[in-house]
Every structure is written in C-alpha cells, then in structure tokens.
Amino acid sequence: MEQNVLDNFKKQLEQKREDILKGADRTLSELTDQHGNIPDPNDRATAESDRNFELRIRNRERKLFAKIEAALQRIEDGEYGECTSCGELIGLKRLEARPVTTLCIECKTLQESKEKSIGK
C-alpha cells in the first residue's frame, strides 16, 4: 500500500480516537456534575434513561477504541491492509468503509455465514 494512503488512514484513525476520548471526557464531566436529587419521578426516570443510553454508547466506543489502537499498531508494523485470516490484501474500498477491519470481504462473509449457521 502506498505511503500516502497509509498516512491518510492513520490520520483518519487518530482523529476518530481523539473524538472518542473527547466524548468520554465529556460524559465523565456530565455524570460527575449531575446532582442525584431530582424530585419529580418522571424527570428522574428520563435522566436515568439518558444516562444509561450514554453509557451504552461509551461502551461501544470503548470497543471501537481498542480496534483503532490495533489498526494503528498494524500500520506501524507494516501489516495494515492484510487479511488476518487468509493473508491476502484487503480491498481499498473495504478499508475506506471500515478502516479498523482485519478481514477481507471474502473471509468476513465466510465468518458471518458460520456465525449465522451456529446461531451467534
């Protein structure tokens, strides 16, 4: 893969990593600033629902963060863009759609078929 393309992916991944960290800081700040004394039960339920939703989002982003870190490490190691299953190059369009991917489209399709057949 050309260096300028790798640099582009690296920049994109670093920006997403930074966005996730900023979002986590914002959530932490909001959660520590909130006061637990909400007298109206409806308002309290809404606040709790909003808090749970925010925490679910952060949990998903935590998992994405780990994938971003792994992708950045693969760039450093010179392995970015190689399928971890078959060793073939991952298509550029697939990497553009999902920069953290580790599988080519064929291997991902096979993996999803296997998961579907065993009911995961």
The CATH classification number of 1-78 equals: 1.20.120.910
Q: Do 70 and 64 meet the contact criterion of CB atoms below 8 Å apart?
A: no
pLDDT digits (tens, 9 = 90+) for 68-92: 999 999 999 999 999 999 999 999 9
**Which pLDDT belongs to residue 98?**
96
**Domain locations along the chain:** 1-78, 81-120
Pick the closest to residue 70 from 22, 15, 17, 116 (CA basis). Answer: 17
Three-state secondary-structure class, residue 89: strand
Question: For 39-72, how does the pLDDT look when each residue is reduced to its tens digit (9 = 90+)?
Answer: 888 888 888 888 899 899 999 999 999 999 999 9
pLDDT in tens, 1-28: 899 999 999 999 999 999 999 999 988 8
Q: How far apart are CA 64 and CA 87, in angstroms?
A: 23
